[in-house]
Amino acid sequence: MARPRGLLLAGDLTNYYGVPGQWYEFTNDYGVVNGEGRIDFPVYEGYGNHDFDTLSDPPTISPESPLTDVVIDGIRSRNEQRAEEVNVSSNGLHYSWDWDSVHFVSLNLYPGFNNPYSKGSLAFLEKDLANNVGVSGRPVVIFFHYDLGALRSRRTAAAFYYAIHDYNVIGIFHGHTHTGRRHYLWPASTLYKQFDVYEHGPATFDPKATKKFLRYLVVDIDSGNNTMTVVPRYTTTDTLIDNWETSSYIWSKAISFGNTTGDTVPPTPDPMIWAVKPYVTSGTSISMTATIATDAEGDGVQYYFEETTGNPGGTDSGWQNSETYEDTGLVANTIYSYRVKTRDLSSNVNETGYSPERAKIAGY
């Protein structure tokens, strides 16, 4: 097997959150983020129900316990350390990144609403796919801990389904279960668009076969052949050098890499120009509007308004779908300067040049 690009861990990083040293053991074995531990390649993890107070399902939350957030805080810390390579949710837990043209998303326990368990993972997913994949058709891989049967409410399941419906999701991976290796389609009904789901349960020692441990899935995404192959494997301890054994289960499918025509043309106009130059809307806010941009290849466009002075209160917009931006929370009688650019949503994410800068004094 070739050297892995990285290791994805779908939860249950510890067995009981409160057992002293288990999170330390995890970081010792798996490193901080980029191969500093016994695993010498990048590790991308999410929390599972065992990483909360108990083994209950759903997990028990005990706010009075000083150890409740050991794993949660640990993941936040790890995301801070890999901040340059990942897109992180506002609460510091959920994140995404790109390996070449493939987009990966970690949703921790499961894709759900803003509750003590899923912690706003679904809202992050919706925003992340819109901002970082858009209509490019790029492949998307999503992983989290619970199986899809654990999405107990129809509302949660439907919200997740429609969040990913319009995207090229080539695989959903989860842990949690102890039912063994399997591949299935979700939703079960063929009346709906179906997604490939891969289940492997926990990557743990197998007590019934003492020479087998660390069961896991090897995933090969081949852009040359437009395929994704998933193979369950395990490591054995017959010799000092671990042997790689392949099970009889192999799943392979043809996949699309989206726009492969090599779009290298940014939206127009390029450089960007103002439709409405920055103007004062109150003592603490300034609004502005860019000219509506178009993309000849039909990939869709986004806008980025940059505040360039760095004065207190001034904020960039971040990539957004709207051509209008209002910067609020400014300091009165302070000068702020802005410029705007656009990008398309092709796999190459082509950007225009910036518009000329325009400055205004808040309140004047």
Read off the pLDDT of residues 149-192 as tens digits, 9 standing for 90 and up.
777 678 888 999 999 998 999 999 998 876 666 788 999 888 88
Q: What is the dotted CATH code of the domain comprising 274-361?
A: 2.60.40.10
Rounded Cα distance between 39 and 31, Å, is 7
**pLDDT surpasses 70 at 54:** no
Torsion angles phi and psi, residue 270, rounded to 5? -140, 115
| pLDDT of res. 183 | 86
Read off the pLDDT of residues 293-317 as tens digits, 9 standing for 90 and up.
998 877 789 999 999 999 999 999 9
**In the beta sheet, which residues pair with residue 142?**
105, 172
Cβ-count burial of 341 within 10 angstroms (0-12 exposed, 13-18 middle, 19+ buried)?
Answer: buried
At 19, is the pLDDT very low, low, confident or very high (cuts 50, 70, 90)?
Answer: low
Read off the pLDDT of residues 181-239 as tens digits, 9 standing for 90 and up.
678 899 988 888 999 998 876 555 555 555 555 667 888 888 888 899 887 776 655 54
Q: What is the dihedral of CA 105, 108, 111, 116, to 10 degrees?
A: -140
Cis preceding-peptide flag for 269 (omega within 30 of 0): yes
Residue 238 DSSP one-character state = S
Q: Provide the edge-to-edge strand list for the sheet that holds 285-290.
A: 274-282, 285-290, 324-327
Q: Where in the chain are the domains?
A: 7-254, 274-361
| pLDDT of res. 241 | 37
Read off the pLDDT of residues 105-128 as tens digits, 9 standing for 90 and up.
999 988 988 887 888 999 999 999
Which whole number is the average pLDDT over 6-28?
Answer: 78
DSSP conformation letters of 102-150: EEEEE-TT-S--SSTTTTTHHHHHHHHHHHHTTTS--EEEEEESS-GGG
Kindly state the percentage of the chain with pLDDT values over 70.
81
**pLDDT surpasses 50 at 331:** yes
Average pLDDT, the chain: 83
Note if the pTM is more than 0.75: no
